[in-house]
Amino acid sequence: MLSGQLLKTLTATSSNPKYRQLAALTLPVYKSYCTSSIFHKKIREACDNYSPIGVFALLKDGNRLKSVLDEINQGVIGNYLHNHFISGLNAYAHQNFSFCTGFLEGDVPLEAICRSFIQFCSANKMYLDPAKTLDSFERHNQLSDEAVKYELKKITPKVELNLLGFGLDTGYYEQELARYLVASHKAEKVNIFGFDPYANPNRAIRYLSVDELNSGQWTFDLIVARWVLHHVAMNYRWDDFVNCINRCNPGAEVLIVEHGFLAEASLFDRRVSALFNAVFDIVANIGLRPDYFFKGSALGEKFFIHYLEPKDFSKIASHVSVKVGLNIYDVGPVFPNQSICKMTKK
């Protein structure tokens, strides 16, 4: 179930003068069989030439695009969402040569092509059934859920455990994890906290503001950030997340579930995977929460996406005030891939 798990340990001294402790950081090393390599290999083989023009030609060729993405997907994402994603990407490419090739050449930022695609979907009245969209994620979610629960099995049992969901929204997933922890005898009681300025609050969860988090009144044994960090604006992403990690108890676990490819790759490979991932992300979110995109006049203005890179974890190490061990591995599918990042407070 857990593949591509290879480790390389790096000891780094914090660059922040407030912190003089060493951060023991484990950075990922990926073999060629990791999901990002498989994805790029399949896309490269499907192109007449692996270049901005060659990839664009693939996007415009509906039959060839569907063939390679069907081969990559292998039924993990349900056909309902998978086929809407392919048809949306193909239709957009037919009308947006300059945006697609401009992004692949590095002249158009990802945020701009995301806004352009959202506006295209609105103009073409794209609609997906929410229930069918959610059902399409069943196997995809099972892969990461099994990996998260695998990590939770390693937690030292406690009478009472504090769980913080970062960017948790309603927190239903965190509630599911809390029930699992109790059922597996990892805790008799789980207190669920949330840090999410944009959440649709759940009365069963205690949501904390920045001031409350900084007060030191609460500390945490487990932090979960699931499919959220790549949507957090860069000027907030690391300060807020590191702030949460700094409130962890000794031995606490931080579990990050992320889309996008964390493996080292060429700049062009990263652009190709970012384009495919971002379009899939938008189509899926249109199915799950269409009002988020289509209400108001500024279509796409609220949507932000920037995928994590290996260097991002060095940023965490340089600002966190404690020693942390870090382990990253792919859990599949090949696309849209998921990676688990586990940090352990020493």
Give the confidence band of 227 by pLDDT, cuts at 50, 70, 90: very high
Close Cβ partners of 311 (under 8 Å, ≥ 6 residues apart) = none
Q: Lowest mean pLDDT of 17-26, 55-64, 140-149, 273-282, name the range.
A: 17-26
Percent of the chain with pLDDT over 70: 86
- The C-alpha angle with vertex 285 and arms to 282 and 291, in degrees rounded to 5, equals 110
The predicted pLDDT at position 47 comes to 97
Close Cβ partners of 333 (under 8 Å, ≥ 6 residues apart) = 35, 73, 74, 76, 77, 139, 140, 143
Average of per-residue pLDDT across 302-328: 76
The predicted pLDDT at position 33 comes to 38
With contact defined as beta carbons under 8 Å apart, do 297 and 305 qualify? no
The predicted pLDDT at position 260 comes to 80
The predicted pLDDT at position 10 comes to 24
Q: Report the DSSP pairing between strands 248-259 and 338-345.
A: antiparallel
Q: Locate tokens 């994402």: which residue?
A: 77
Enumerate the β-bridge partners of residue 189.
160
CB atoms near residue 140 (< 10 Å): 23
Identify the structural domains of the chain with CATH numbers, from first to last: 7-32+154-261+311-345 (3.40.50.150), 35-138+266-294 (no CATH)
Give the tens place of pLDDT for each residue, 176-198: 999 999 999 999 999 999 999 88
The predicted pLDDT at position 261 comes to 65
From the number of C-beta atoms within 10 Å of its C-beta (0-12, 13-18, 19+), residue 182 rates as: middle
pLDDT at 235 over 90: no
The predicted pLDDT at position 297 comes to 55
Q: Lowest mean pLDDT of 50-54, 69-73, 129-133, 311-315, name the range.
A: 311-315
